[in-house]
Amino acid sequence: MALSPTNDAALLQEVDEAVRKDRLDTIMQRYGRWIIGGLFAALLAFGGYLFWDHRQDAARGEQAEELIAAFEKLGTNQPRAATAELQKIAAEGGPAYRAVAQMQEANIKAQAGDLKAAAALMAKVAADTKLDQALRDLALIRQTAFEYDTLKPEAVIARMKPMVDAKDPASSWFASAAELSATAHYQLGQFDQAGALYGRIAKLPDVPRSLQSRSVQMAGMLGVDAVTDRAAESAAAEKKGNAAPKAAAAAKTEEAN
């Protein structure tokens, strides 16, 4: 008895499903243990990562609390207790917390008059390749400031050169590095270089008033008219600021007409 086209299609579908099932059974018989083992290993790895990430977050929270506790001890005039806390963080904390702890401990030692120990701690931070370069640069500036009286001017200039020559000094530690370098140039009798650096510092928009005042005075003493330059810049900025409202008003008037 001949099968209808509908029966042919149903029979082919049944055969296709049987072949697929047979292939799947064969694959599971041969590789089932490996597949299940691989899935289990992947789940274990994912679970381990989640646990590790949770532990990392918890550890960072604990380190932050310990750092706050150290600063609180400093605020209540307990430098020894604060130093003990900071040393613990430096020994057990991550790179950023370790750096902050070492830099603060260095400040404590500098305030106590132990500039050599303070410089050594800053040197550790400056040499730590796991840290952001900006933080390492700050540590190097602080180290150089602590060691300044024991360094030759040429060494100071060489250390500060990468920061002084930075393409974008406004976003770096240019001002502090340039002042150290300018002072070293002055000690060497290189007055043109010193004056130029003091003038560059004086022209920066976001400089602490004390540093700006010193830079303007030194630049003027060395023949660089930083005061005039800053006055001209301020006048230009004020003119530009006044021009903006006038332009806006003129535009509104034109639109109204």
Average pLDDT over every residue of 146-155: 96
pLDDT at 96: 81
Single-letter amino acid code for the residue at 233:
E
Angle at 160 between CA 120 and CA 158, to 5 degrees: 90
pLDDT at 252: 53
Task: Report residue 3's pLDDT band, with 50, 70 and 90 as the boundaries.
Answer: very low
Looking at the chain, the whole-number percentage of residues with pLDDT higher than 90 is 33
How far, in Å, CA of 241 to CA of 217, rounded? 28
| 43-83 pLDDT, tens digit each | 555 554 444 344 445 444 565 666 666 656 656 677 777 77
pLDDT at 80: 78
Task: Report residue 33's pLDDT band, with 50, 70 and 90 as the boundaries.
Answer: low
pLDDT at 125 over 60: yes
Which is higher by pLDDT, 30 or 39?
A: 30
Task: Report residue 247's pLDDT band, with 50, 70 and 90 as the boundaries.
Answer: low
Residue 238 has which token pair?
């004020």
**Beta-carbon contacts of residue 185 (< 8 Å; ≥ 6 apart):** 153, 157, 191, 193, 194, 197
Task: Report residue 1's pLDDT band, with 50, 70 and 90 as the boundaries.
Answer: very low
pLDDT at 250 over 50: yes
| 172-220 pLDDT, tens digit each | 689 999 999 999 999 999 999 999 999 999 988 888 889 989 999 999 9
Answering whether pTM is above 0.85, one says: no
pLDDT at 243 over 60: no
